[in-house]
Homo-oligomer: A and B are copies of this chain.
């Protein structure tokens, strides 16, 4: 079962958004266009636009309005990916060379800025001050999350709260506001859009935890980038936090540094996988998904509600 089968009734509208994304990055500056297009064509799940559309289905769904919000959210996400790759010094993203690898850090930085600015442009069609407050607040938190990730690198004494706050800022909030802004743009009552916000938040938490698990358990081919990359870059994710509770592993993990030999790192990753760190992380992801599904009770039955439910369940099982 593929993810996009879960919302196939939206296909025409998703295609429309893809077309709009291509228009959004049009520019008479070829460097900017080439770099943006490079990232756009690498694909991606477009999960934020999908959430925007599905949430809007709970209200007055007008694709000509909603698509602007969907495009804005995807552009903000893409901008953060481009800037993320500069931080991570990443060479590969979605199986393709990154903008910073193909061009350089400078081009990556301004391409991100440009996508971000274009996103704001698209959002201006929504004439609801609350929507803009919600979005700008999420973006502030996103930036704080990114900086916190730099600060927290190789900080082996951090706790679960640090991790959860970081992934909330880094991932969950933007998915939460994708749902909420879709619902607000669809003129739903507050009860509905706050439920959808929480749904998105819980799904986002589960999504990032799964991502952090897959970084351990997937192959380079499946990930589109080297496996075990998080730990070797000093990112302390949930599986690492659990593994740190094992006194032996604790000592070995604390010795991780940027230039650790590949073989030693691979052995460490295998030994972490052999503990209950992965299954415990998986359990936490499931708890978040359970909470997410409960939020959907606020919504009347519909195809969109079923899709939201199916996507949440899919995220709990995803392998890539």
Residues of A within 8 A of B (CB): 27-32, 83, 86-87, 105-107, 109-114, 116-118, 120-121, 123-124, 127, 129, 132-133, 135-137, 139-140, 142-144, 146-148, 150-151
Contact B117 A142 (CB under 8 A): yes
Partner of A136, one of B30, B31, B117, B133: B117
Greatest chain B CB density within 10 A among A83, A112, A117, A148 is at: A117
Contact B117 A147 (CB under 8 A): no
Contact B147 A32 (CB under 8 A): yes
Considering only CB atoms, which chain B residue lies closest to A145 in the complex? Answer: B29
Contact B118 A124 (CB under 8 A): no
A129 and B106 alpha carbons, distance in the complex (Å)? 32
Q: Cβ of A136: which chain B residues have Cβ within 8 Å of it?
A: 117, 120-121, 123-124
The 3 closest A-B pairs by CB, nearest first: A120-B136, A114-B143, A117-B139
> Given A31-B150, A124-B132: A143 and B110 within 8 A (CB)?
yes
8 of the cross-chain contacts (CB-CB < 8 Å) are A86-B109, A87-B110, A107-B150, A110-B147, A110-B150, A113-B143, A116-B116, A121-B137
Partner of A109, one of B83, B127, B133: B83
Contact A107 B140 (CB under 8 A): no
Separation in Å of the A89 CB from the closest CB of chain B? 9
> Given A117-B139, A133-B124, A136-B117: A144 and B27 within 8 A (CB)?
yes
Considering only CB atoms, which chain B residue lies closest to A130 in the complex? Answer: B124
> Given A86-B105, A132-B132: A110 and B146 within 8 A (CB)?
yes
Separation in Å of the A82 CB from the closest CB of chain B? 10
Contact A144 B114 (CB under 8 A): yes
Greatest chain B CB density within 10 A among A107, A116, A137 is at: A116
Q: Cβ of A150: which chain B residues have Cβ within 8 Å of it?
A: 31, 106-107, 110
A143 and B111 alpha carbons, distance in the complex (Å)? 8
Separation in Å of the A166 CB from the closest CB of chain B? 11
